[in-house]
Amino acid sequence: MRKWLPPVLLLVGLIALWELVVRAADVPDYLFPAPSAVGAALRDDAGTLADATLVTAREMLLGYLLALALGLGVAVALHFSTVLRRALLPLLVVSQTVPTVVLAPILAILLGYGIGPKLIVVAIVCFFPIVVNAVDGLCAADPELIRMMRTLRGTRWSIFRRVEFPGALPMIFSGARVAATYAAVGAVFGEWAGSSEGLGFVMLQSQPSLDTEVIFASVLILSVLALALYGAVTLLERVLVSWKWQPAHA
Amino acid sequence: MEAIAKRRAVATRGVSVAGVTRILGGKAVLDGLDLDVAPRERLGIVGRSGTGKSTLLALVAGLDEPDRGTVRVAGQEAAVGRLEHCALMPQGDSLLPWRTALDNAGIALENDGLSRSAARAQARPLFARFGLEDAEELRPARLSAGMRQRVAFVRTLLARKDVLLLDEPFGALDAITRGELQEWLGDALADEPQTVLLVTHDIEEALLLCDRVAVLARGRIAAVLDVDVDRDVADPAFVELRKAALEAIH
């Protein structure tokens, strides 16, 4: 309880300050809505926002899982092949300089308005931190452990399975947590490029009619979705990498 | 006749190092080193830090290749052949933090293709023999330093190799635990049929645990001492032997 109190108090304080400033300065809702107006939008448009949330959440989750599968697969391939690592890693770095906002419309043109292009955009956004952290984690295995395994009849595969991969899990989860925070942005980019549903679409629809409180409500929901995904990954890490938090012998 | 028989036994089942030079960082760490270890013999290798004791063990284990000279283990000169016969207990315990003590101990058996439960079943009797029953399900972080070393030793034994290479097994322990474990290791090794090479910077430890002690200095074996005295640190013959080893180091 004591651990949660400071951030909760800070958040409540900031919201209260926000409400106070907007009301005191008489800022219209279409310019900068007060928290109460955002709350009202959440209540009034609950149905629309709930449907849109489900769509975006599905895009985030599936795109994120796609990024995880591809990212870990590529990281393992790069780990096993020095030639591939030398050839592909610089290209991966360069690929990060291409803005996703540019890629999203191209994907929409190529693949249409379905869920496919959104998943690809989310996967592209999430892919890089997963790969980089996984490659670093796999390479960081203690050479002494590998030597020990070699004298215990450890093959290349068993060294990977029993030493390198479990040892890399903390780093893999670091990358996965960073990627989890990008998934929401990726889904919105994908929807902006071409869609007829989802929170990104709701935000686009709300702009011409100046329903700024609905845009804020959508952003709030996106933040909650990103936090939920981050929390789920952290929880999974606690289960799979429980040894990291085990108290040491006195 | 006896000498010829011993040479033959070394050539076919023991460890033979002939004229070995190993250059690391432009410096000859080992310089024309010769050493024979008979099957089932316990040989201590002592020397100052940085005299190439661990390098010698890595060469015997098949983890490294000499720049000049030959290393044979049970008649095998190729690194792969040497690896087949040697199990290394590295400096530090090198236990995998994500595995329980029992799973750490049985890792060589898993590398051989046994299931985890079958490997655990084979490791369990050794845990009972070495007083580790209560530690079976604990992860390394929960074990005392002495227990970790014992688990690492059980892991080395379970590799079921002809030659055990123990690299400063108690180097990181406090004096009291070190004394206890020296006694424990002496008893443990008494029942084992393997050839043992024990690297240590502690002359007394080598004299207490080994049949012969080789003193490594300036990249060569400066002296080989037969430990044909009572293992009593206060015994004048023991003291004399320790003095001889110290003089050879200098």
Q: A152, B98: Cβ pair inside 8 Å? A: no
Q: pLDDT class for B7, splitting at 50, 70, 90?
A: low
The minimal CB distance from A148 to the residues B90, B141, B161 is found for: B90
Domain that holds residue B140: 2-249
pLDDT tens digit string along B165-179? 999 888 777 777 778
Burial class (CB in 10 A: 0-12, 13-18, 19+), A71: buried
Q: A246, B87: Cβ pair inside 8 Å? A: no
Contact in structure between A250 and A74 (CB atoms under 8 Å): no
Write down the mean pLDDT value for chain A.
Answer: 90
Give the pLDDT mean for A73-87: 93
Give the pLDDT mean for B48-72: 92
d(CA A24, CA A102): 41
pLDDT tens digit string along B148-157? 988 998 999 8
d(CA B203, CA B249): 10
CATH code, B179: 3.40.50.300
Interface of B with A (CB under 8 A): 58, 61-63, 83-84, 86-92, 94, 96-98, 107-108, 110-112, 139, 141-144, 155, 159, 161, 165
Write down the mean pLDDT value for chain B.
Answer: 88
Q: Which of B186, B195, B166 has the alpha carbon at shortest distance from B36?
A: B195
Give the pLDDT mean for B45-66: 91
Task: List the strands of the sheet with B27-37, edge to edge.
Answer: B27-37, B15-24, B68-73
pLDDT reading at A140 higher than 90: yes
The ipTM value here is 0.82
Q: Which of B130-134, B181-185, B242-246 shows the lowest per-residue confidence on average (mean pLDDT)?
A: B181-185
Contact in structure between B22 and B183 (CB atoms under 8 Å): no
Q: Which of A48-57, A116-125, B240-249 shows the lowest per-residue confidence on average (mean pLDDT)?
A: B240-249
**CATH number corresponding to A66-241:** 1.10.3720.10
The minimal CB distance from A246 to the residues B83, B87, B139 is found for: B139
d(CA B107, CA B109): 5
pLDDT reading at B4 higher than 70: no
A143 touches chain B (CB under 8 A): no
Give the pLDDT mean for B45-71: 92
What is the reported pLDDT for A133?
95
Q: Which of A118-127, A218-227, A228-237, B127-136 shows the lowest per-residue confidence on average (mean pLDDT)?
A: B127-136
Contact in structure between B190 and B183 (CB atoms under 8 Å): no
Give the pLDDT mean for B77-84: 92
Q: pLDDT class for B180, splitting at 50, 70, 90?
A: confident
Give the pLDDT mean for B214-219: 90
Give the pLDDT mean for B46-52: 88
For B10-39, give one letter per residue: b (16+ CB within 10 A) or e. Answer: beebbbbbeebbbeeeeebbbbebebbbbb
Interchain CB contacts (distance < 8 Å): A and B = 73
What is the reported pLDDT for A57?
95
pLDDT tens digit string along A150-166? 989 999 999 999 999 99
| 3-class state of residue A27 by DSSP | coil
pLDDT reading at A234 higher than 80: yes
The number of domains in chain B is 1
Contact in structure between B146 and B132 (CB atoms under 8 Å): no
Q: A166, B142: Cβ pair inside 8 Å? A: no
A88 touches chain B (CB under 8 A): no
CB-based contacts of A249, cutoff 8 Å, min separation 6: B141, B142, B143, B144
Q: pLDDT class for B42, splitting at 50, 70, 90?
A: very high
d(CA A94, CA A89): 9
Give the pLDDT mean for B112-138: 90
Give the pLDDT mean for A94-113: 81
What is the reported pLDDT for A31?
87
What is the reported pLDDT for A249?
63
Contact in structure between A158 and A215 (CB atoms under 8 Å): no
